[in-house]
């Protein structure tokens, strides 16, 4: 964490690296890959198998040609011409099939990889929509973003390159081993000696490379998280003159990434030349051993038994075998080396998959509620009946599990809290014995120093967090029984930190209620006194907003946020420092609009400016998570307690 930026209160930054390639990650990844792409994957692997098998036949064709040429030198070219034509035709057919299979496999894997990445990103994004607010409070945004970029790219390399390459090399190695044993067991044993040497080098050099590739992945996520924080807080960095400190912090993280990446690629880059040189040495060793066996007049040993040293034409048969065996050894060591090279990509891919699976394995926000919000109509006798058409009335649909009956309670906005305790972590309670009663149409204000618990209370009402003890009732119903989505549909909220999305001004206002008409959005903007400045924008309500409304002032963004809450037309409104970014003149206008907006609604107001809460029905003063005073503005002034001190300036909010 940079010393320049500070995390919001009640948030904890995740410490230490996230888990790397856990046991079973590859199995789970393959299971996910096969779940929706089994047909394509089987087709691709068939093409890979055919391509790999046919690709090792060159040495066989070489031996066949040498044998026919040997015969032709004795009996004449006409005696072997027909056989040579057959061999050339067979070679053409084999290599053509290999080319076709390579083309098909490449096309399939390109499509399959992108489909799989689409599946992975969709799964992770959908999962994130189910995670509780607590998860985002305790994880850096940049680190989460790194999962969508670096980790998915590592998986792309694993699926599109490493897995196909490993499978192709495995098929080739198996085929080559069979061919080698059929030609010479002696020379095959020499090859196995080289494989043992390659394996040893891979374990030593590749292991170090893999370790630093994992560190590189982690350092990259940390650096991206830091950059994201600094970009968001660039104004703070500049206003406090922390550019040099920020550069130093970045240099530290960048140097760590540079070191890890340099070490990873150093070991990775020296691995292939080492493998190539081992292959060259093995090539020379095979030629030497073959020549030595011929010099010692040793019969060739294959899986068919002892083979004669000479052909029927008198040429050394073992020499032809050695000539054909040498390219086989090249192919064999090349396949083993290519497999070794994939180790780093495999480890990086599995580490990336582990990070993504960590998100997928996070417990979703629990919701055991069964009371839902439905449209309704009310007859002259006050009877509530569920309906689908828009009537302007809503009701809580409450199925009773005991007798199977269903009751309806009109949505009014009656909120009560009884002896509520809460802590963001179980061993640190921040709210103590909070009780309050908010009747429909009442305006409840919370005042107190920063960290007193004002915003925390509103977070409990919309169930961003669940209480540790006590009860919260909404229209007489325990909010734990209400489905969270329906509960939040009944709440409108304006936060101190505005969040606007890429889209038009109209789109951002309509975000409060997607089915709202243009006229309703314009009326909401007029209510929030945002219509005038919107009309002066280049394209009015069709003006595009980007980068969280960077082309608007902070006050204008706040007005849009208020308009968005207004168009939702919810019976309960939460205004968390809603006018903190608005000048005094505009605040007076907005106050008139919000007064209209609050008519007939239950409103919770959090404010540092006491002038904005004087007309509240009830003002509650919080200190250290407790309500120490409550009453109207007049009553609290008469008490001459903490509120009186705040109002008269004897004590200032921090």
Helix (H) or strand (E) holding 14: none
Greater pLDDT, 194 or 368: 368
pLDDT of 8 > 70? The answer is: no
pLDDT value for 17: 41
What is the model's pLDDT at position 518?
Answer: 94
Tell me 481's DSSP state: G
- Could you tell me the pLDDT band of residue 286, with boundaries at 50, 70 and 90? confident
Nearest to 499 by CA among 410, 560, 584, 423: 560
pTM of the model: 0.72
Residue 528 has pLDDT above 50, yes or no: yes
Share of the chain above pLDDT 70, in %: 88
Question: If pLDDT is split at 50, 70 and 90, which confidence band does 307 have?
Answer: low
Q: Which helix (H) or strand (E) holds 12?
A: none
SS (H, E, C) 264-325: HHHHHHHHHHHHHHHHHHHHHHHHHHHHHHHHCCCCEEECCEEECCECCCCCEHHHHHHHHH
Q: Where are the alpha helices (DSSP H) in 131-140?
A: 133-137
The token duo for 647 is: 């109002």
CB 384 within 8 A of CB 398: no
3-state helix, strand, coil in the chain (%, to 5): 60, 15, 25
Give the other-Cβ count within 10 Å of 386's Cβ.
12
Angstrom CA distances, 543 to 492, 503, 533, stand at 25, 8, 12
Q: Cβ contacts of residue 581 below 8 Å, gap of 6+? A: 496, 498, 554, 555, 557, 558
CB burial string 436-458: b at 16+ within 10 A, e below? bebebbbbbbbbbbebbbbbbbb
Please give the Cα distance from 505 to 161 (Å, whole number): 45
3-state secondary structure 382-429: CCEEECCCCCCEEEEEEECCCCCCEEEEECCCCEEEEEEEECCECCEC
State the pLDDT confidence band at 315, using cuts at 50, 70 and 90.
Answer: low
How far apart are the C-alpha atoms of 464 and 568, rounded to whole Å? 19
In order of 174, 194, 315, 493, the CA distances from 322 in angstroms are 20, 17, 13, 82
* Alpha-carbon gap, residue 347 to 211, rounded angstroms: 9
Task: Report which listed range, 32-41, 231-240, 268-277, 292-301, is most confident.
Answer: 32-41
Give the H/E segment covering residue 641.
Answer: none
Residue 521 confidence (pLDDT): 94
Question: Which has more pLDDT, 417 or 235?
Answer: 417
Residue 68 CA to residue 87 CA, distance in Å, equals: 10
What are the b/e assignments for 20-56, b being 16+ CB within 10 Å? Answer: bbeeebbeebeebbeeebeebbebbbebbbbbbbbbb
Asked whether the predicted pLDDT for residue 613 surpasses 70, the reply is yes
Report H helices in 131-206. 133-137, 141-146, 152-157, 163-183, 185-201
- Please name the residue that has the structure tokens 């090399």: 169
Altogether, the residues listed in the chain come to a count of 654
Extract the tokens encoding 316.
């050394």
């Amino acid at each position: 964490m940079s010393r320049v930026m500070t995390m919001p209160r009640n948030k904890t930054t995740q410490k230490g690296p996230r888990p790397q390639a856990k046991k079973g990650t590859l199995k789970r990844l393959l299971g996910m890959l096969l779940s929706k792409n089994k047909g394509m994957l089987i087709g691709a692997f068939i093409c890979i198998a055919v391509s790999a098998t046919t690709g090792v036949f060159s040495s066989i064709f070489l031996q066949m040609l040498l044998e026919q040429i040997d015969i032709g030198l004795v009996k004449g070219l006409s005696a072997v011409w027909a056989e040579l034509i057959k061999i050339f035709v067979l070679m053409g057919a084999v290599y053509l099939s290999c080319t076709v299979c390579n083309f098909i496999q490449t096309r399939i894997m390109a499509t399959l990889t992108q489909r799989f990445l689409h599946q992975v990103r969709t799964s992770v994004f959908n999962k994130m929509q189910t995670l509780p607010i607590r998860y985002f409070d305790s994880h850096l945004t940049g680190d989460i973003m790194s999962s969508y970029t670096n980790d998915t790219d590592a998986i792309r390399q694993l699926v599109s390159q490493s897995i196909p390459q490993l499978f192709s090399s495995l098929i080739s190695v198996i085929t080559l081993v069979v061919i080698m044993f059929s030609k010479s067991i002696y020379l095959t044993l020499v090859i196995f000696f080289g494989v043992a040497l390659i394996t040893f080098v891979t374990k030593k050099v590749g292991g170090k490379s893999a370790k630093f590739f994992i560190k590189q992945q982690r350092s990259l996520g940390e650096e991206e998280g830091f950059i994201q924080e600094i970009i968001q807080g660039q104004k703070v960095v500049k206003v406090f003159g922390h550019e040099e400190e920020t550069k130093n912090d970045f240099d530290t993280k960048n140097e760590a990434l540079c070191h890890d990446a340099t070490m990873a690629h150093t070991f990775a880059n020296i691995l292939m030349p080492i493998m190539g040189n081992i292959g060259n040495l093995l090539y020379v060793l095979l030629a030497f051993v073959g020549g030595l066996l011929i010099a010692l007049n040793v019969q060739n040993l294959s899986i068919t038994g002892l083979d004669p040293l000479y052909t029927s034409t008198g040429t050394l048969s073992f020499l032809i075998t050695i000539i054909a065996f040498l390219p086989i050894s090249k192919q064999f060591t090349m396949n083993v080396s290519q497999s070794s090279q994939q180790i780093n990509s495999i480890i990086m891919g599995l580490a990336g998959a582990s990070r993504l699976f960590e998100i997928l394995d996070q417990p979703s926000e629990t919701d055991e509620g069964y009371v839902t919000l439905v449209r309704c109509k009310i007859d002259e006798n006050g009877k509530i009946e569920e309906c689908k058409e828009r009537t302007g009335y809503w009701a809580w649909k409450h199925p009773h599990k005991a007798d199977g009956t269903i009751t309806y309670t009109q949505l009014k906005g009656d909120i009560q809290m009884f002896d509520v305790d809460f802590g963001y972590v179980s061993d640190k309670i921040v709210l103590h014995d909070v009780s309050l009663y908010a009747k429909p149409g009442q305006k409840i204000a919370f005042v107190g120093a920063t960290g007193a618990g004002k915003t925390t209370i509103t977070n409990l009402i919309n169930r961003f967090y669940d209480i540790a003890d006590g009860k919260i009732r909404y229209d007489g119903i325990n909010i734990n029984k209400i489905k969270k989505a329906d509960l939040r549909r009944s709440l409108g909220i304006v936060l101190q930190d505005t969040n606007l999305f890429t889209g038009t001004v109209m789109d951002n206002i309509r975000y409060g209620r997607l089915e709202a008409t243009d006229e309703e959005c314009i009326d909401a903007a007029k209510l929030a006194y945002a219509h005038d400045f919107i009309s002066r924008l280049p394209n009015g309500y069709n003006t595009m907003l980007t980068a969280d409304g960077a082309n608007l002032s902070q006050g204008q963004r706040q007005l849009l946020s208020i308009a968005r809450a207004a168009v939702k037309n919810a019976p309960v409104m939460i205004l968390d420092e809603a006018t903190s970014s608005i000048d005094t003149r505009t605040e007076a206008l907005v106050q008139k609009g919000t007064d209209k907006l609050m008519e007939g609604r239950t409103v919770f107001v959090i404010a540092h400016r006491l002038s904005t809460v004087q007309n509240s029905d009830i003002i509650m003063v919080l200190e250290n998570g407790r309500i120490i005073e409550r009453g109207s503005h007049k009553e609290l002034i008469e008490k001459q307690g903490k509120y009186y001190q705040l109002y008269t300036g004897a004590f200032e909010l921090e």
